[in-house]
Amino acid sequence: MRSIRYQAIADELRQRVRAAPPGTVLPSEAELSAEFEASRVTVRRALELVRDEGLIAARQGFGWFVATEPVRQRLERLLTIESQLETSGRDAVRRVVDFAFVAPPAHVADELGVDRVLRVKRISLADGEPFAVVTVWCPAELGQHLSMADVEQRPFYELLAIELRGATQTIGADLAEPGDAELLAVPVGSPILKCRRVTTDTGGRPVLMSEHLFPAHRTEFVVDLPNDPPSAIPTGLRLVDGA
């Protein structure tokens, strides 16, 4: 019996995605159409067949990717996402790609009020796959005793010899630039979630600033909302003027 074209393409895609890591982004429909010398309609039908088996998924801005369990982070407490992943039984690893004492960029200098910082950039991996690129800036005087091995093995919250009060966290959307896209293994220009966190000591002084970049198709932030009196605008929600 002659194989139907979209089923043959689905068979090939099925083999590929089963051998690929979770979250891997597939070639675009146009690229697959050229590769298989088939129409976009035929390729999409093949993709939908594989999707219905739970092997792949699609999201606006990413196209098709190997299905994966989202990396979830709860925002109610001052915890690292790695610690939350380990609690859920997933293997979380930090890999430092930059460790240097430098002059901070203007927005970091304004926030921390210093002219010299320890800058650490790292990749965070869950079960061996990248899920975040994190850059942390710390006043040089607080980080002068730290080494690359220290920050690769333990979070700053445990390494700083001061007591912390809490943090303010702002989450927005952005597009992956080439360097970060390569580290996250996503296409350049694909959607990412950008989380900026400013941590303060018990006296209210900012002592850490960090920027976390997450691939949007693999990340969920979870917040429990208490049953407080209704408000027109939820606490902490700010409208951003895009003009």
71-222 CATH: 3.40.1410.10
Q: Which CATH architecture has domain 5-66?
A: Orthogonal Bundle (1.10)
Cα–Cα dist 36/142, whole Å: 57
Taking residues 71-96, what's their average pLDDT? 67
Q: Render pLDDT for 101-131 as a digit per residue (tens, 0 to 9).
A: 999 999 999 999 999 999 999 998 887 788 8
Pairing of strands 191-201, 164-175: antiparallel
Cα–Cα dist 138/104, whole Å: 9
Instruction: Provide the pLDDT confidence category of residue 2 given band limits of 50, 70 and 90.
Output: very low
Q: Render pLDDT for 174-201 as a digit per residue (tens, 0 to 9).
A: 888 999 999 998 888 888 889 999 999 9
Task: Give every CB contact of residue 214 below 8 A, 6+ residues apart in sequence.
Answer: 71, 131, 132, 192, 193, 194, 195
Q: Where are the domains of the chain?
A: 5-66, 71-222
Q: Which of 42-51, 54-63, 120-129 has the highest mean pLDDT?
A: 42-51
* Mean pLDDT across the chain: 83
